Structure 1
Amino acid sequence: MPHLPLVNGHRHGWSSVEVNILDRIVTGITAISYDDAQVKENHYGAGDMPVFRGRGKYEAKASITLYAFEVESIQQALPKGKRLQDVPLFDIKVSFLDNSSNVITHVIRNCEFKTNKRDMKQGDSKVEVQLDLIVSHIEWN
């Protein structure tokens, strides 16, 4: 089996993250965070041990951090009077190589911006904007 090259010398490389918003690749992304969870509870009957386990709702969460110039570019691409929170649904793909040199891709589905906030302080040499997202689900490969 041929060995695939490492991405930037590392198997799990930041260089493989790709975000497309409003039909353009966003290059000024500096961080991404995503997770999902499902409510699971033990249910009791006779005795002191659970007799079955119930499952509740599924919830996925995500956020991205972009340089301010990227956020401004996205906002300028919107029709006049629209906000960042009005950007249509978009997906985020995160790809990397696993230990067997297989490409793994996670897809964060149906993202929308929930927030639009700036946080700057004296001495900053760059302005980053953390944006919370609402997402429908995450496809873990």
Structure 2
Amino acid sequence: MANFQMDTRLYAWSETEIRVAGNMVVGVVNCQWKADQEKEEIYGKGTEPLAIKSGNSKYSGTLTLLQNELEKLLDQFSDANGNVNFIPPFEVQISFANDRDQIVTYKLAGCQFNSQEMNAEQNMKKMEVPLPFMYLTQTRVAA
């Protein structure tokens, strides 16, 4: 009989740690990132593709922060004059740990915010600010 090993790694938001420019961010309510690869079918004789060729890569994401966390970030980069688009390139690290201390970290390098939209409404209990960003590369480190 084959030796079967069950993988029971499950990760939850409560076991997630996010660092922006080296600082742990507590007031983050959402973190998304995406790696796209341009791909195209190559055709020749007939109607079926002969191959798939790759083009440029593109990386993007969004950090949604509570307003107080955004203000901390802007205080850290005072030269940005209150605009995240002027923060110099930084790294985002997203780490997941489970109850068995299996840690997986995604490192997004060369990040730059490319939009800042703020919203305040009557009777809002909290202010969440989505901050879209672009980045150059990503690495996954499993411990």
Equivalent in the alignment of 1:79: 78
Q: Aligned equivalents of 2:46 and 2:126: distance in 1?
A: 60
Q: Residues 18 and 26 of structure 1 are in contact (CA less than 8 Å); yes or no, is this contact kept in structure 2? A: yes
Q: Which aligned pairs between 1:106-121 and structure 2 lie closer than 5 A?
A: 106-121=106-121
DSSP-derived class of the 1:69 partner: helix
Q: Residues 61 and 134 of structure 1 are in contact (CA less than 8 Å); yes or no, is this contact kept in structure 2? A: yes
Give CA deviations for 1:63-93 in whole Å, capped at 9, x if unaligned: 1011111112222233356332222222111
Q: Residues 109 and 136 of structure 2 are in contact (CA less than 8 Å); yes or no, is this contact kept in structure 1? A: yes
Q: Aligned equivalents of 2:61 and 2:80: distance in 1?
A: 26
Q: Aligned equivalents of 1:86 and 1:57: distance in 2?
A: 26
Letter of the structure 2 residue corresponding to residue 24 of structure 1: N
Matched, 1:37 2:36: yes
Aligned length: 132
The unaligned stretches of length 5 or more in structure 2 are 1-7
TM-score by length of 1: 0.79
The unaligned stretches of length 5 or more in structure 1 are 1-5
Root-mean-square deviation (CA, aligned residues, Å) is 2.6
Q: Aligned equivalents of 1:52 and 1:105: distance in 2?
A: 33
Distance change >3 Å, CA 47–CA 101, structure 1 → 2: farther
Q: Aligned equivalents of 2:31 and 2:113: distance in 1?
A: 13
Equivalent in the alignment of 1:130: 130
Instruction: Return the offset for 1:38.
Output: 0.6
Q: Aligned equivalents of 2:80 and 2:51: distance in 1?
A: 52
Q: Residues 35 and 59 of structure 2 are in contact (CA less than 8 Å); yes or no, is this contact kept in structure 1? A: yes
Instruction: Return the offset for 1:49.
Output: 1.5
DSSP-derived class of the 1:85 partner: helix
DSSP-derived class of the 2:78 partner: coil
Instruction: Return the offset for 1:132.
Output: 0.5
Instruction: Return the offset for 1:24.
Output: 3.1
Letter of the structure 2 residue corresponding to residue 135 of structure 1: Y
Equivalent in the alignment of 1:90: 90
Between stretches 117-126 and 11-20, larger displacement belongs to 11-20
Identical residues among aligned pairs (%): 21
Q: Residues 16 and 97 of structure 2 are in contact (CA less than 8 Å); yes or no, is this contact kept in structure 1? A: no
Letter of the structure 1 residue corresponding to residue 95 of structure 2: S
